[in-house]
Amino acid sequence: MGNLVVVGTQWGDEGKGKVVDLLAEHADIIVRFQGGHNAGHTLVIEDKVFKLSLLPSGIVRQDKVSVIGNGVVLNPWKLLEEIELVQSQGVNIDPSRLMIAENTPLILPYHQALDQSREEVTDKKIGTTGRGIGPAYEDKAGRRAIKVGDLRDDELLKHRLAIAAEYHNFDQQQLFNQLAHIKEHVLQYVNDVPLYLNQKTDLGFNILFEGAQGSMLDVDFGTYPYVTSSNTLAGMASIGSGVPHNKIPNVIGITKAYTTRVGEGPMTTELFDEVGEHLANVGKEKGTVTGRDRRCGWFDAPQVRKTCMLNGVTGIALMKIDVLDKLETIKICTDVHNGIPVYEELPGWCTSTIGITDYSDLPRLAQEYINRIEQLTQTEVVLISTGPERDQTILLQDSFF
């Protein structure tokens, strides 16, 4: 398998969790490298549903090591809540299975308060989750962040809090006491992540880097300002973990067979008719983290072609093809003129693809739709998802798995 990155090529919610779980079977270590608890993955494994927002998706596999890298902003209370929740579902989590980079910035209560107050007072809403992600990244860039490794030293922590208090309004002693109450529970997982990951790479271990959100939410290349506060592209896997870029040769681009978006901002192919409602209802399009309804539209080929280029995608995992099963006509956006999408119409296959595991068993018209996506995005499809379960999958390229 080798080291590889999994990223979303759209606005997130593409189904990364399922693919990461599939890939994790062949990986030794799974690394989360950016974002915070504003991004969620839903995993369906047998009769259990795992909803994760901070822990890497590989945590549900007992024989894997999961890592939270320095590119993440970490709410320590939410982390401990999620660990407790996953453990209650029968998954063992201890320091031998979970590691946190010591230079990971913390999301603290004043970040969340600031995030929410900004969204409340402005007429031009970004549509953030209000969980403090943006302000935490601002503090990182402003050199006033509290990092998880700072919890080891009380005097250093007090010093860092004093610096932060020059910018934020909070009770320093109260927050120090709150952090003191949980720090040992968090610090047991803290380690030198770059050293660990590079040593394991040199020994031939397979590392899977798990992105959050989607490429069109990248703070540099997304639909700015309606973006997240971090870089979501594959290149961030190196910066957000400490593993050199030339040790991460492969990129899987998770791509939904149509388009969805949560929150504000432009969406060229958005549908406001019964087809959009059909996609939302059949696809169960609600955000894992927020529960917000996702906006739905046709597949946007120029967008995915661009994000495949930016990420260096070496193979597409095409998700939720089964959601299109009952549509008589399916459209693909092939170009955009002055903000108006140009569509190509393809006939629908009007039969179920749910649970198909062999490409030859797919309806011919479904195969033609997939082939057209490959042509328009100039990227090969290496996996097709035909349902939410782990085994409802068609593998076209075993080299990635």
Per-residue pLDDT for the chain (401 aa), expressed as one digit of tens each? 689 999 999 998 898 878 888 888 889 999 999 999 876 667 777 778 888 889 998 898 889 999 999 999 999 999 999 999 999 999 999 999 999 999 999 999 999 999 888 877 666 656 667 789 999 999 999 999 999 999 999 999 999 999 999 999 999 999 999 999 999 999 999 999 999 999 999 999 999 999 888 999 999 999 999 999 999 999 999 999 999 999 999 999 999 999 999 888 999 999 999 999 999 999 988 765 566 789 999 999 999 999 999 999 999 999 999 999 999 999 999 999 999 999 999 999 999 999 999 999 999 999 999 999 999 999 999 999 999 888 899 999 865 55
**Domains (ranges, CATH) in the chain?**
4-102+191-400 (3.40.440.10)
Per-residue HEC secondary structure of the chain comes to CCCEEEEECCCCCCCHHHHHHHHHCCCCEEEECCECCCCCEEEEECCEEEEECCCCHHHHCCCCEEEECCCECECHHHHHHHHHHHHHCCCCCCCCCEEEECCCEECCHHHHHHHHHHHHHCCCCCCCCCCCHHHHHHHHHCCCCCEHHHHHCHHHHHHHHHHHHCCCCCCHHHHHHHHHHHHHHHHCCEECHHHHHHHHHHCCCCEEEECCCCHHHCCCCCCCCCCCCCCCCCCHHHHCCCCCHHHCCEEEEEEECCEEECCCCCCCCECCCHHHHHHHHHCCCECCCCCCECEEECEEHHHHHHHHHHHCCCEEEEECHHHHCCCCEEEEEEEEECCEEEEEEEECCCCCCCCCCCHHHCCHHHHHHHHHHHHHHCCCEEEEECCCCCCCEEECCHHHC
CA distance 273 to 257: 18
CA distance 148 to 130: 21
CA distance 235 to 283: 30
CA atoms within 13 A on the CB side of 286: 6
Helix axes 172-187, 109-121, angle to 10 degrees: 120
Active site residues: 13, 41
pTM: 0.91
The confidence score (pLDDT) of residue 347 equals 97
CA distance 357 to 321: 12
The confidence score (pLDDT) of residue 261 equals 94
